[in-house]
Structure 1
Amino acid sequence: MKNLLLLLTVLATFLVSCSTKDQTPSASVYKGAEQTIGNGKAYSWAKFSADNQPTSVGFTLTKGALDNLPHAGVALVLAFPNEAIGKIPFDHIMLDYLHTGHEPPGVYDLAHFDMHFYWQPLAERKAIPLYTAAPAKFDNLPAAGFLPSNYIRLPAGVPEMGVHWADPASPELAGKGKFTETLIYGSYDGKVTFIEPMVSHEFLKSKPNLSKNIPLPSKFAKAGYFPMKYSIKQEGDDIVVSMEDLMIMQ
């Protein structure tokens, strides 16, 4: 009888333990819709902690995505997964590939990707006209403190994007090296609208393993999550670009 009671007690303890374990929340990763690029795919994703707080967002380029890219370029809007909408700081990702790059000549005029992470809603971004059509809105710059203090404005502005801001100490701008990757901020009509890793095609093909702190502004337009780091890494056959260590900033 004692042996039977002991066996039942052990069994009950085991079942309670299993039940508790099964109910323990775990971290979650949600994946956006895949889109074709080159000979591969691109898709967004968002990661959440066990208590359902966003920890990182980004996108993945699968095997072959860097191959057979058209000379005419690529422009993909990567929507975030439905489970992440309203819970992460960004609205969407705009992924551009430019085979011959863009201005300034001798700096960014080589094959590269512009990887825009937009806070700005898609419809609002799409409505940004040519610089000559609305110079006052392009030239309405964010107030002091809302961009990293050392960043400088690049000339004019780009339709469906806005004004670009760069770190003048970047090797390609300081005359100390060839462009491989840099981090750009963007603005339009007085607001900071995007953050952008800009990365050469050559660098992405080199099996990158990059992780950097993000230069932070001293002010934020509203309280919310903001990434502390970004990374560009080869993971197996994929390239993964991440905005990481999301923290609530006031």
Structure 2
Amino acid sequence: MKKKIVHYQVLFVFVLMFFSSCYKEGKQITLAEAGAVSADKINKSVENVFKGPEIQMGNGKVRSWISINHEGVPVEIGIEMTDGALYGLSQDPEDFAAATFVLPLHKKAGDLTPFDHLVINWNVHGHEPEHVFDVPHFDFHFYMISEGEQMAIPPYEVAPAGFDNLPPHAYWPDLYFPTAGGVPQMGKHWADGTFAPPFTKTFIYGSYNGKFIFLEPMIIRDYLVQGTSYTAAFRQLHVFDPTNKYYPQKYNIYKDPATSKHYITLSDFVWR
């Protein structure tokens, strides 16, 4: 997909290798453990689950959701995918519209968290650098700006100033660095300096015009097809904007064995 080529540069790989020994991210958990964890959250902690509308994706459906406990604190926010959503996807790397799925969030999500909407981007052939991210994968964007603001982000070549206006250094998450250029209708991507190939999953930040605007688990399709479960803490921003919201500290990948639905979520919220 041409628009994604600028996503990362070849230098990215070498910087990542340098940092790769500094931090071990997360742990893989069994399918049974994932089912038990999700069931425990739903049955014991959660007062309500608020879901967004179902969206057709491939041969299945996707939707957003947020769960909130009895104290009014978010438990999880994320994406629910039926198994069919992993199949029948566009095979045209140039058809950006056919590979983009916008998921509105319930109003409760905006009231409690910084997130406005979610977007799934399907990359049928991945993107550069070669032999690292050139495998079929999904970008799961959790946007902290409106859809209108997101869609107004221009190509880097047309207006680079917004991309090159980085957030103040004091905000930056440890060991993350901004990649060159930027992607229209997304922003500038920030890479995890501890990542090392082979790529199955990684966690990305995004910025535009001086603010961090999205969080992004990036996961290969095969990882989801296999039903592999994983949970990880991700490094936090040092300053939060907006304030007076609940922000997540972990991201999770799991499949519910009872329904065969896949979940990509953020959890472990704290008040900022």
Deviation at 1:206, TM superposition (A): 1.5
Alignment-derived partner of residue 228 in structure 1: 249
TM (norm. structure 2) is 0.77
What is the deviation of 1:181? 0.2
Pairwise CA distance, 1:83 = 4.0
**Cα distance in 2 between the residues matched to 1:142 and 1:234:** 35
Separation in structure 1 between the aligned mates of residue 108 and residue 192 of structure 2, nearest angstrom? 34
CA RMSD of aligned residues (A): 1.5
Residue of structure 1 equivalent to 2:64:
44
Aligned to 1:218: 238
Match of 2:21 in 1: none
Aligned to 1:134: 159
TM-score normalised by length of structure 1: 0.84
Distance 1:161 1:26, change over 3 A: closer
The answer on whether the counterparts of 2:46 and 2:67 sit within 8 Å (CA) in structure 1 is no
Structure 1 stretches of 5 or more lacking a match?
A: 1-24, 173-177
Q: CA deviation at 1:149?
A: 2.1
1:88 aligns with 2:113: yes
Aligned residues: 220
Give per-residue Cα distances to partners, 1:150-199, cap 9 Å, x unaligned: 11112210000000001122112xxxxx1100000000010000000000
Greater share of residues in helix: 2
**Distance in 2 separating the partners of 1:26 and 1:196:** 25
Segment of structure 1 superposing worse, 217-226 or 148-157: 217-226
Offset at residue 27 of structure 1 (A) = 1.0
The structure 1 residue matched to 2:182, chosen from 136, 142, 157, is 157
Which of these residues, 74, 77, 99, is aligned with residue 74 of structure 1? 99
One-letter amino acid matched to 1:52: G
Matched, 1:202 2:225: no
| Correspondence for 1:114 | 139
Runs (4 or more) in structure 1 with deviation over 4 Å come to: none
- Paired residue type of 1:51: E
The answer on 1:241 being equivalent to 2:261 is no
Higher RCO structure, 1 or 2 (CA under 8 Å, sep 6+): 2
Contact 1:214 1:227 in 2 (8 A): no
Q: Which has the larger radius of gyration?
A: 1
CA contact (8 A) 1:146 1:221 kept: no
Q: Secondary structure at the match of 2:266?
A: strand
Alignment of 1:123 onto 2:145:
no
User: How much has 1:68 moved relative to structure 2?
Assistant: 1.6
Partners of 2:234 and 2:194 in 1: CA distance: 14
Letter in 1 for 2:173: P
Aligned counterparts of 1:156 and 1:119: Cα–Cα separation in 2: 20
Conserved in 2, the CA contact under 8 Å of 1:146 and 1:217? yes
Contact 2:119 2:142 in 1 (8 A): yes
